[in-house]
Amino acid sequence: MTARLVTGAIDPAALLAEVSGDGHGATVLFLGTVRNSNDGRPVDGIDYTAYDAMAVVEIERIVAEAVARFPGIVVAVEHRTGTLRVGDVSVAIACGHAHRGPALDANRFVIEQLKRRVPIWKREHYLDGTSEWVDPTRPALEATP
């Protein structure tokens, strides 16, 4: 099991290798990438910051919960911090299992819990030169055409 915060580029192939196994009939990889717009505003990049010590522990807790829910699952998670550009991978989650059902479900479980619980924040930089901390608890603005 792997739970890491990294400051350099995430290597999905390395994560896939960490969850590989001869008994695995299914491997699922989720990549979260920086999108070029949010709430209708063109995005130039994102600065990610974290409460590093707690973020790693919280990801480990989530992975342990995934193992309890989906026996036999093997999970590797990396989240990147620092300044990312559009298209960069911010988070990668790889899950390996004997069967596709648990592999798919565990992957979904881990990303949803990560977004809900892990103390990581992002400051979006917009093409107009402004920037803002993203607050997912605030209702989204209507996207402007």
Partner 1 sequence: MTVRVLLFASYADAVGKRELTLELAEGAVVGDVVAHVRGLAGGTALPPAPLLAVNAAYARAHQPVRSGDEVAIIPPVAGG
Q: Are 141 and 39 in contact (CB under 8 A)?
A: yes
State the Cα angle at 112 between 106 and 116, rounded to 5°.
140
| 3-class SS of residue 74 | strand
Contact positions with partner 1 (CB under 8 A) in 52-81: 53-55, 57-58, 79
Does 138 interact with partner 1 (rule: CB under 8 A)? yes
Rounded to the nearest 5°, which phi and psi values hold at 115? -65, -30
Is 90 near partner 1 (CB under 8 A)? yes
Please pick, from the candidates 49, 72, 98, 126, the single residue that binds partner 1 as defined by CB under 8 A: 49
Work out whether 7 is an interface residue with partner 1 (CB under 8 A). no
- Mode of pairing for the β-strands spanning 2-6 and 74-80: parallel
Q: What binding mask, one character per residue, do residues 100-119 give for partner 1 by CB under 8 A, x or -?
A: -----------x--xxxxxx
Instruction: Using CB under 8 A, list all residues that contact partner 1.
Output: 32, 48-51, 53-55, 57-58, 79, 90-91, 111, 114-123, 133-138
